[in-house]
Amino acid sequence: MISITNIIRADMYRLFRGKAIYITFAILLALAVLNVFISDAVVEATITIGVVTMEEANEASLPEAPAFTGARAAMLAVSNMGIMAFFFLPLIIIVSMTMFSTGAVKNELSAGLSRTKLYAAKFILSFCLCMALMFSYAFSNFLLATISNGFGYWGGDLVPFLLKGFGALMLITLAFASLGVFLSFTTRRTAAVNGLYLAIILIPAMIVSVVVLAFPGAIAYMDYDLFNQFHVFLYAVVNPSSQLIRSIAVCLAFIIIPTIAGVSFFRKAEIK
């Protein structure tokens, strides 16, 4: 029997022999260079973590520094990781969609490969690559800023914040990977995955933003939006409150429901 590990190994071999994954990481590196360059030019006295200033983040503020150091870069990268949601999509597509676009999935299933194992392997690999992408972005920012302006101040609550932040980002990444793989296995069309993925993460946030202009109280509904969890969850991790439970519940819902639905649908789907 083919194991999940063997499926992942085969996919990794295929991915690293292609160009798509290198292009994605290269664009991310270029973004990190641009981010450090701009941030170095405009260093603010108070660094903002999403909607949370450093003074609000349990005394996680750094002493004023004349330059954008590695410490500042790492903190800012973790705080503004929401942009990674758009970089997850190409990774999920090259992991999950290639077998459908080439028709390879039919040959794999006819050889006795379990559909559940296939789904699980794509989910696990998508999640791991997305986490690697986020870590690479944060580390690139840190490394470039350190080379340019030094290591910086790592005292106070900075290290605990980074560890808590990556813990929150891990759960959010699982949710996005679950959503992307679900769309891949249910639609089996790249265009549909692109459109639905972007619609699901952007349209709710846009609707709530418009409604808030007329009804300010509606801003509370942004806590239930997956894309907004990048900010809400980090805030809740730094300042534990009822928001933390709500954010965990939202992420778990996006992990569990699409996964169960996706596996159930794929096990019964006709593969042509």
DSSP notation for 70-90:
HHHHHHHHHHTGGGHHHHHHH
What is the structure's pLDDT at 186?
A: 94
How many C-beta neighbours within 10 Å does residue 110 have? 9
How many C-beta neighbours within 10 Å does residue 23 have? 12
Q: Report the share of the chain in percent with pLDDT over 70.
A: 85
Q: Which amino acid is at 233?
A: F
Q: Please, what is the Cα angle at 133 between 7 and 94, to 5 degrees? A: 45
Measure CA of the first residue to CA of the last residue in the chain; give whole Å.
23
Strands (E), the chain: 48-49, 52-53
pLDDT > 50? residue 61: no
Q: Which residue, 227, 235, 183, is CA-closest to 205?
A: 227
Which range, of 111-120, 133-142, 190-199, 240-249, averages the lowest pLDDT? 240-249
Q: CB-based contacts of 236: which residues, under 8 Å, 6+ apart?
A: 168, 243, 244, 246, 247
pTM: 0.84
- Contact indicator for 193, 97 with CB cutoff of 8 Å: yes
Residue 62: which H helix or E strand, with range? none
Q: CB-based contacts of 221: which residues, under 8 Å, 6+ apart?
A: 208, 211
Structure confidence by residue, pLDDT tens digits, 81-133:
888 999 999 999 999 988 887 777 877 777 678 899 999 999 999 999 999 99
What is the structure's pLDDT at 66?
A: 52
41 vs 103: CA distance, rounded Å: 50
